[in-house]
Amino acid sequence: MYPDLHTHSLYSDGSETTRYLLTTAVAKGLSHLALTDHDCISGVRELWQHLPEAHDSASTPLLTVLAGVEISCDWNGLEIHVVGLLETPEAPALQTLLGEQQQRRVERMAAIDSKLAAAGITGLGSALAALPAAALTRSHAADFLVAQGHCKNKEKAFKSYLAKRGKAYVAAAWCSLSEAVKAIESAGGIAVLAHPSRYPLTRRKLAALLSDFKLAGGEAMEVSYANLDPNAKKRLLELAAEFDLMHSCGSDFHTAQASWTALGKFPKLEPSAIKNAIWQHPKWHLIEQAGRHVTEASLAKYPD
Q: Assess whether pLDDT exceeds 90 at residue 17.
A: yes
The Cα–Cα gap between 275 and 221 comes to 14
pTM recorded for the entire structure: 0.94
Residue 260 has pLDDT above 90, yes or no: no
Integer Cα distance of 182 and 304 in angstroms:
35
Q: What would the DSSP string read from start to end of 148-208? A: TTS-SSHHHHIIIIISTTSTT-----PEEHHHHHHHHHHTT-EEEE--GGGSS--HHHHHH
pLDDT of residue 59: 66
Mean pLDDT of 275-290: 96
Statement: residue 58 has pLDDT above 60: no
pLDDT at res. 266: 93
**What confidence tier does 191 reach under pLDDT thresholds 50, 70, 90?**
very high
Measured torsion, CA atoms of residues 288, 133, 27, 60, in degrees rounded to the nearest 10: 30
Phi-psi region of 229 (alpha: psi -120 to 50; beta: other; left: phi over 0): beta
**What is the C-alpha separation between 241 and 194, in angstroms, rounded?**
16
Is 60 exceeded by the pLDDT of residue 57? no
Share of the chain above pLDDT 70, in %: 98
pLDDT surpassing 60 at residue 9 = yes
Residue 56 pLDDT: 60
Compute the average pLDDT of residues 234-259.
94
Please name the residue ranges forming H helices in the chain: 18-27, 42-50, 92-118, 124-129, 138-147, 154-157, 177-186, 203-216, 230-242, 271-274, 284-289, 296-301
pLDDT score of 127 more than 90:
yes
Per-chain mean pLDDT for the chain = 94
Alpha-carbon distance values, 166 to 76, 119, 240 (Å)? 22, 11, 36
**pLDDT above 90 for 60:** no
Q: How many CA atoms lie within 13 Å of 157's alpha carbon, on the beta-carbon side?
A: 20
Mind listing the pLDDT tens digit for each residue in 91-110? Answer: 999 999 999 999 999 999 99
pLDDT at 259 over 80: no
Question: Cα separations (Å) of 191 from 9, 184, 278?
Answer: 20, 6, 10
Q: Is the pLDDT of residue 79 over 70?
A: yes
